[in-house]
């Protein structure tokens, strides 16, 4: 079977992490997010994967190449201007002649694709949409079904008054390519706003496949951090690679340390936490729940709590980086600075102590 992954969005809600890095390449456990999605598809023997790209396509292409290093075959389709979710798949129509999977490029799940395919065949519908329960449906596509799972309404980002269920579109579809005839060529067109509501108006059957599988969309820094915490708690054993750690340093809980990290005396790292390759943590620093990208330097006695720091950040000694702070690449924090909680610092900014 083939799968199309939609990786054309700009990832604006993940800024400042996506100022220099496309959302699909944001590291999760020190590997690009998209690599996790490709491994997930491969685990179901789905090895023929089409990537629809738009924004910053080169970094994705140069990392994944033809896919052979990852055990898959990749086809890249680059849009000149964004075609929307359905328009992007229409643009790939020449590669699609049998039912295929479509995945939003920013979801992490262990949903059983084999069971979803069996359900799709059993219902004989032209479209199946994976559904997942969430607490706040208003930021997703809400999908109302009948008791058999047949979709009655699809409302993208509804107001609270329009919410009739906590089941939302999980961003995985099974599609019969025939339905692409309803999508105009070279036009911005969305599954969520256009194709699905139009198919329902015409009386076509769409089925929702609901499950309680793990599911998260890494659309915001909070969810990006939560994905790390969840994964480290579940799969955290045996994750460390080579690094140099001082005998008086301590780690507690699930901590992933990338290659060539240096961890100085009396450093304390409390998991779940991730240190990117080449990071350097100086004497007495304390890190808890943080995600650091590559080559981050943390000065003596600095304290980092549940925050994210992009590539090459420099955090001066004695600084305090509190809960929810997000530092873009190459941010420099002067010694003894105290950032307010949930700060968003743009790449390259120098924060001076005040």
Active-site positions read: 157
Q: Which stretch binds Mg ion (CB under 5 A): 53-61, 63-71, 216-224, 230-238?
A: 216-224
* Rounded Cα gap, residues 5 and 66, in angstroms: 15
Q: Is 106 in the site for Mg ion (CB under 5 A)?
A: yes
If the CB atoms of residues 119 and 140 are measured against ligand GDD, the closer one turns out to be: 140
Per CB under 5 A, the list member of 67, 137, 219, 221 interacting with Mg ion is 219
CA distance 298 to 332: 10
Interacting span for ligand GDD (CB under 6 A) from 99-107, 228-236, 262-270, 287-295: 99-107
Note the residue count of the chain. Answer: 354
One character per residue 23-62, x = contact with ligand GDD (rule: CB under 6 A): -----------------------------x-x--------
Is residue 106 within the footprint of ligand GDD (CB under 6 A)? Answer: yes
Q: Which does 84 bind (CB under 5 to 8 A by kind): Mg ion, ligand GDD, none?
A: ligand GDD
**167 forms part of the interface with ligand GDD (CB under 6 A):** no
SS (H, E, C) 247-312: CCCEEECCEEECCCEEECCCCEEECCEEECCCCEECCCCEEECCEECCCCEECCCCEEECCEECCC
Q: Which two tokens stand for residue 246?
A: 């001082």
> Could you give the string, one character per residue 114-153, with x where binding to ligand GDD holds by CB under 6 A and - elsewhere?
--------------------------xx------------
State in angstroms the smallest separation of the CB of 78 from ligand GDD. Answer: 9
**Of the candidate residues 144, 156, 222, 283, the single one contacting ligand GDD (CB under 6 A):** 156
Nearer to ligand GDD, 52 or 288 (CB): 52
Distance CA 164, CA 86 (A): 25
Cβ of 295: how many Cβ atoms within 10 Å? Answer: 20
Indicate the SS3 state at residue 23: helix
Nearest to 103 by CA among 218, 269, 183: 218
Q: Which stretch binds ligand GDD (CB under 6 A): 39-47, 80-88, 262-270, 320-328?
A: 80-88
Asked if 208 interacts with ligand GDD (CB under 6 A), we say: no
Could you tell me the smallest distance in angstroms from the CB atom of residue 132 to ligand GDD? Answer: 8
b/e string for 96-132 if b means 16 or more Cβ within 10 A?
beebbbbbbbbbbbebebeebbebbeebebbbbbbbb
**C-beta separation of 218 from 108 below 8 A:** yes
Under rule CB under 6 A, residue 88 binds ligand GDD: yes
CA gyration radius, the chain: 22
C-alpha to C-alpha distance for 137 and 93, rounded to whole angstroms: 31
Binding region for ligand GDD (CB under 6 A): 6-9, 52, 54, 79, 82-85, 88, 104-107, 140-141, 156, 168-169, 171, 192, 217, 219
Binding site for Mg ion (CB under 5 A): 106, 217, 219
């Amino acid at each position: 079977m083939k799968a199309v992954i939609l990786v054309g969005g700009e990832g604006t809600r993940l800024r400042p992490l996506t100022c220099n890095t496309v959302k699909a390449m944001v590291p999760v456990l020190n590997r690009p997010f998209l690599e996790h999605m490709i491994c997930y598809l491969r685990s179901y023997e789905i090895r023929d994967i089409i990537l629809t790209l738009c924004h910053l396509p080169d970094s994705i292409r140069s990392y994944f190449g033809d896919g052979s290093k990852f055990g898959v075959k990749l086809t890249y389709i680059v849009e000149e201007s964004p075609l929307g979710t359905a328009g992007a798949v229409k643009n790939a129509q020449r590669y699609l002649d049998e039912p295929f999977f479509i995945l939003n490029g920013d979801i992490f799940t262990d949903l059983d694709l084999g069971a979803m395919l069996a359900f799709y065949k059993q219902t004989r519908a032209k479209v199946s949409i994976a559904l997942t329960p969430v607490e706040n449906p208003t930021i997703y596509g809400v999908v109302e079904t009948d008791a058999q799972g047949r979709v009655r309404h699809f409302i993208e980002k509804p107001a609270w008054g329009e919410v009739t269920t906590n089941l939302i579109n999980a961003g995985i579809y099974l599609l019969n390519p025939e339905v692409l005839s309803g999508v105009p060529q070279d036009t911005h067109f969305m599954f969520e706003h256009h194709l699905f509501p139009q198919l329902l108006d015409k009386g076509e059957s769409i089925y929702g496949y609901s499950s309680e599988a793990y599911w998260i969309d890494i659309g915001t820094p909070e969810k990006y951090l939560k994905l790390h915490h969840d994964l480290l708690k579940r799969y955290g054993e045996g994750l460390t690679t080579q690094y140099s750690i001082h005998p008086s340093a301590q780690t507690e809980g699930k901590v992933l340390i990338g290659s060539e990290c240096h961890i100085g005396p009396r450093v304390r790292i409390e998991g779940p936490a991730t240190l990117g390759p080449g990071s350097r943590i100086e004497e007495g620093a304390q890190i808890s729940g943080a995600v650091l990208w590559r080559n981050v330097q943390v000065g003596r006695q600095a304290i980092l709590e549940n925050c994210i720091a992009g590539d090459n950040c420099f955090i001066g000694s004695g600084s305090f980086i509190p809960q929810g702070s997000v530092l873009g690449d190459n941010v420099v924090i002067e010694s003894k600075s105290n950032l307010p909680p949930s700060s968003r610092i743009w790449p390259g900014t120098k924060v001076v102590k005040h």
